[in-house]
Amino acid sequence: MSTQSTQYTNVAITLHWVIAVLIIAQLIGGEIMGQLQPISFRFEIYQLHKSFGIIVLLLSLARLGWRLTHTPPPLPSGMEPWERLVSKTTHILFYVLMIGIPMAGWLMVSASPMNIDTMIFKIIPWPHFPGIPQTEALEAFFKDVHNYMAIAAVVLIVLHVAAALKHHFVNRDAVLTRMIPSLKKRS
């Protein structure tokens, strides 16, 4: 079932911003956590990274479900066909990365011969991905996928933010305000 609207729903807006903040924090945290000392402290931070990462995975799956059952507001009428294509492609790629990055992280730790458990916020045990062989080669493969997808996310975020700012300050349309309703609305 599909719901037509000229605005993003509060659920879509909330999920967008919670996931955006978490992913940006995870990208920065992921980059610096590998250099942390001592090792025991590093272990705690890795558990925190995995915990927030699994939260992103679950929220992104919920968001995908929401997105598939709700039609987003139409783009401004003045946009060129290539701009619409870039916008749509970017959004689809974001969904791939929002789910793909934490999935690759989960697969990486599941394939690790070190076999370290994941405890979400030290309380909820999170299982390894079922049936996955624990080999160094597979762990290294998913580590590369995790890393390259994270790099792709940084590129996409820069593009996405630049487009949002261009809509707001150059085109002066309502694309940014419908994702940040507290900004003054423009027609």
Query: Residue numbers of the site for ligand HEM (CB under 6 A)?
Result: 16, 19-20, 23-24, 26-27, 30-31, 34, 46, 49-50, 53-54, 56-57, 67, 72, 75, 87, 91, 94-95, 98, 101-102, 105-106, 108-109, 118, 143, 146-147, 150, 157, 160-161, 164, 175-176, 178-179
Element (H or E) spanning 125, and its range?
Answer: strand 124-126
Judged by beta carbon, residue 96 or residue 133, the one nearer ligand HEM is 96
At 3, phi and psi to the nearest 5? Answer: -115, 120
User: Which two three-digit tokens encode residue 183?
Assistant: 């900004």
Nearest distance in Å: CB 136, ligand HEM:
12
Nearest distance in Å: CB 143, ligand HEM:
5
Element (H or E) spanning 120, and its range?
Answer: strand 118-120
Element (H or E) spanning 126, and its range?
Answer: strand 124-126
Element (H or E) spanning 118, and its range?
Answer: strand 118-120
Judged by beta carbon, residue 133 or residue 136, the one nearer ligand HEM is 136
